[in-house]
Amino acid sequence: MNFSGALKLVKYQLFSRHGKGHGIHSPFVFMLISNVFRNKIDPHIVFTIESIRRKNLSDNRTIDVLDLGAGSSRMKDNSRKVSDIARYSSVPGKYGILLASMAAEFGKQTIVEFGTSLGISTMYLASGCPEAVVYTMEGCPETAHIARENFRESGLENIRLMNGSFDGLMPEINDLDKHPGLVFIDGDHREEPLMKYFSTMSEIAGEDTVIIIDDIHSSGEMDRAWEKIKEHKNVSFTVDIFRMGMVFFRKGINHINYIIRY
């Protein structure tokens, strides 16, 4: 972590509210923190997905990555080992478990993911809400191929992998006949594209939809985008857990931007 990132983390630790929900007056937000954030998922789910992660971490195959977003801050060469992608691009287990818990609570019939990578986060989302269909978008064909291998190994059958640019695939997402319950955006860490994808999804969101954005403090661009999202006209309140930001559209809740220790 660089100096700027370290300062952001210190600020988060100083100003974040208690991870058990103490002092939170909103019943809904208290439930979110005390029940969903602290929910324990089936250990078999974690074991299966983390076993696949370990397999990827020891995979020395090299693939040519078509990066349609901002690119990786750690992996500059487009020719990358699968092990490096697993190490630097996949969501950590702690946050994968949180995604599964959020999917279980809010996923309902449809989950949308921007940025499949090797599919670790996708599998947590799909495992958390097996009755939902997870539509996950990945721009790189070779990365998508590895993700498909992982999905087959996991045995999960509720994942629909869509290969192509986000812009090219958005019409299919917009044509879904139901509001997404959960949206996870982790595919383009630039301010302008993030704002575009967020705005599009906020227009088709229902009152119960939750949008989760990864790496909200990973750069100045992401910081600026997060500040704009917090003030977006359709947003009722947000939750910042430092790595991720959660956006809610529920009516009847005071517009507060919560910073929660996780």
pLDDT of residue 78: 80
Q: What pLDDT score does 3 carry?
A: 65
Percent of the chain with pLDDT over 70: 92
Pairwise CA distance, residues 45 & 13, whole Å: 30
Q: Where are the domains of the chain?
A: 3-259
Of the CA atoms within 13 Å of residue 164, those in its CB half-sphere come to: 11
pLDDT tens per residue, range 150-161: 999 999 999 999
Q: What whole-number distance in Å separates Cα of residue 195 and Cα of residue 202?
A: 10
Beta-carbon neighbour count of residue 51 at 10 Å?
A: 12
pLDDT at 8: 77
pLDDT reading at 9 higher than 80: no
Cα–Cα distance measured from residue 170 to residue 3, given in angstroms and rounded to the nearest whole number: 37
Q: How far apart are CA 32 and CA 21, in angstroms?
A: 9
Q: Model confidence over 101-137: pLDDT tens digits?
A: 999 999 989 999 999 999 999 999 999 999 999 999 9
**pLDDT for the residue numbered 242:** 93
State mean pLDDT over 160-178: 92
3-259 CATH pick, 3.40.50.150, 3.40.50.2300, 3.40.800.20, 3.40.190.10: 3.40.50.150
Model confidence, pTM? 0.92
Q: Using the 8-state DSSP alphabet, how is residue 69 labeled? A: S
Beta strands 182-185 and 210-214, pairing class: parallel
Q: Which pLDDT score is estimated for 72?
A: 47
C-alpha to C-alpha distance for 200 and 177, rounded to whole angstroms: 15
Confidence check: pLDDT of 62 > 90: yes
